[in-house]
Structure formats: structure tokens, C-alpha cells
């Protein structure tokens, strides 16, 4: 699908998807969130890599996440000069620890910034920001 070149086009940075990350981003586009698990030592990891960082095994299993987690820490960003973000201040950036035990950098949405708290239960939201790219954000659990 051709990229929208209109003034309303998505202006925030898009991921540079590569050979190791493509299956993950494709799953996210299907609105499915995965982490990786080593088939040899069992270590869980995020973000995706070809090799286990604990034992260097290439034998990898994709584990589907439930999509729920808690806010580990966050910040309400009031200043960012970068295009796209400059127009959407303030926004909440956070590390969310998903129930599988791994932390992911993300945005907290659908919540007034002043109500965001550490420990708050959150659920994944799949934001289709362009026809090619979906981002995993989180909102307060319902």
C-alpha cells in the first residue's frame, strides 16, 4: 500500500524493521504480542534476538503474551523537539512489566497523565499507526 504523503501523514519515527525483528512486528500487526523463550535453557527475552543471551542457543520458541501487565515506571513528557511528538505533548512514556516478567518501553494511552501511577494494571492496545506498522501501547486495565 502506498505511503500517505498528505500533511496528516504519521510523523513520529517508525521502526527500522530487520531480519530478526520482522516476525515480531508481523505478529503485532495481527494484534498479537509475543516474547521469546530459549528452547534449551528456558530463559525469556525481549526484544527479539536470533540467539539466547544466556546460553547462545539458536533454538527459540515464541511465547504469546496475555497482554496484561503493570507500570514499572513512567514519565509525563512535556518537552520533545522531535517532529510528531512536538505536536502530541504531553504524552506518557513508560516501562511496562508484562505478566510474563519482561519490561517493554511503551506509551500509556487512554488515561489522563496525572492519573498514571507505578504499579497500575494495564492492558495492551494495538495501535495501527500506518498501514504497515502497528505499535503496542498500554491503557489502564478494564
Partner 1 sequence: MSLSRKCAVVGAYEHPTRFAPDKTMYQIMAESIRGALDDCGLTIKDVDGLLTAGMGMGAMAIVGFCDYLNLTPNFLDSTNIGGSSFVAHTAHAAAAINAGLCEVAVVVYGSTAASSRFAIGTGGGGGGGDPCDQYEFPFGPTTVGAYAMIAQRHMHDYGTTPEQLAEIAVTMRLHASMNPVAKYRDPITVEDVLASRVISSPLHLLDCCIISDGGGALVITSAERARDLKKKPAYILGVGETVRHAARGQRDFLEIAAAQSGRLAFERSGVAHKDIDMAMIYDSFTITVLATLENLGFCKRGEGGAFVSGGRLRYDGDFPINTDGGGLSSNHPGMRGMFLVIEAVKQLRGECGPRQVADCKVALAHGTGGALGTRHSGATLILTNQ
76 near partner 1, judged by CB under 8 A: yes
Residues in the interface with partner 1 (CB under 8 A) total 49
Q: How deeply is 71 buried, as exposed, middle or buried, from its count of CB atoms within 10 A (0-12, 13-18, 19+)?
A: buried
Residue 68 touching partner 1 (CB under 8 A): no
Rounded to whole angstroms, the Cα distance separating 64 from 36 reads: 9
- Taking the complex as a whole, the smallest distance from the CB of residue 88 to partner 1 amounts, in Å, to 8
| Closest among 142, 137, 130 to 2, alpha carbons compared | 130
Q: Does 53 bind partner 1 (CB under 8 A)?
A: yes
| Dihedral sign of CA atoms 130, 25, 121, 103 in order | negative
3-state secondary structure of 27: helix
50 forms part of the interface with partner 1 (CB under 8 A):
no
CB of 24 to partner 1, least distance (A): 9
The contact set with partner 1 (CB under 8 A) reads 12-18, 20-21, 35, 43-47, 49, 53, 72-85, 91, 93-95, 101-107, 113, 118-119, 129, 133, 135, 137
Amino acid at each position: 500500500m502506498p505511503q500517505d504523503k498528505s500533511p496528516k501523514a504519521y510523523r513520529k519515527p517508525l521502526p527500522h524493521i530487520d531480519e530478526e525483528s520482522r516476525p515480531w512486528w508481523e505478529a503485532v500487526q495481527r494484534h498479537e504480542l509475543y516474547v521469546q523463550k530459549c528452547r534449551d535453557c528456558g530463559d525469556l527475552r525481549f526484544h527479539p534476538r536470533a540467539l539466547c543471551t544466556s546460553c547462545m542457543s539458536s533454538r527459540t520458541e515464541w511465547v504469546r503474551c496475555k497482554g496484561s501487565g503493570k507500570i514499572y515506571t513512567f514519565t509525563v513528557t512535556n518537552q520533545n523537539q522531535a517532529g510528531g511528538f512536538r505536536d502530541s505533548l504531553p504524552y506518557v512514556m513508560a516501562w511496562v512489566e508484562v505478566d510474563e516478567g519482561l519490561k517493554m518501553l511503551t506509551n500509556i494511552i487512554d488515561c489522563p497523565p496525572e492519573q498514571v501511577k507505578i504499579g497500575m494494571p494495564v492492558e495492551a492496545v494495538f495501535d495501527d499507526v500506518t498501514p504497515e506498522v502497528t505499535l503496542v501501547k498500554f491503557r489502564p486495565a478494564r
